[in-house]
Amino acid sequence: MQHINVVDPTAARGSANRLPRATSCRTFLGLGAALAAGCLLIGSSLMAEQGDKVKATMTDVSKDSVTDAGEPIIYLNTPNPEISSNIMTIPAGTTTEWMVHPVQGYVYVLEGTLIVEFEDGARKEFKTGQGFPQARSKWHRGRNDGKGVVRFLAVFFGGKDVPNILHPPKR
């Protein structure tokens, strides 16, 4: 077996037997097909280690085309896109300020039950492990009517110097 120097892979140039181009392409395409078939057999489980002992899995959280207020999802058209994220904590029995978002946001509930209350009095409830695209133009606030803390991750798809949250003017 020939050893190839990983620092200088051209070191094997003189002694390598090159296959004709047609054979190389057929072999490459066959290898590609075999790899694709192998990926299909694995399915949605991703192997973290060889063997059956440890597997990494991917679990769907949500797949949405509208926000929790029924608005279509939009992405800000900006020359300076910016993705930001925050973890918000709402103590038991409290609410956030009223807000709207000029940019699209996505919320994933880490702990507790988050209630999103809209200005018209409608409410939506999201439990630990649920995610949703956040309302943009409808005034809303977060509520924690439970006995424990509510924590959620909010990710905003905005732009540099564009605010993620707007609150009503102070009276």
| Residue ranges per structural domain of the chain | 9-57, 81-159
What CATH code is assigned to 81-159? 2.60.120.10
pLDDT recorded at residue 29: 39
**Alpha carbon distance 106, 112 (integer Å):** 17
Q: Which helix (H) or strand (E) holds 76?
A: none
User: What are the helix (H) ranges across the chain?
Assistant: 21-42
pLDDT recorded at residue 18: 42
pLDDT recorded at residue 51: 62
Distances (CA, A) of 43 to 37, 40, 57: 10, 5, 10
**Tens place of pLDDT per residue across the chain (171 aa):** 444 333 444 444 444 444 444 443 443 334 344 444 444 444 444 455 556 677 898 889 999 999 999 999 888 788 999 999 999 999 999 999 999 999 999 999 999 999 999 999 999 999 999 999 999 999 999 999 999 999 999 999 999 999 999 999 988
**Alpha carbon distance 167, 156 (integer Å):** 16
Note whether 145 and 93 are within 8 A (CB): yes
pLDDT recorded at residue 55: 86
User: What are the helix (H) ranges across 43-111?
Assistant: none
Q: Compute φ and ψ for 115, nearest 5 degrees.
A: -110, 125
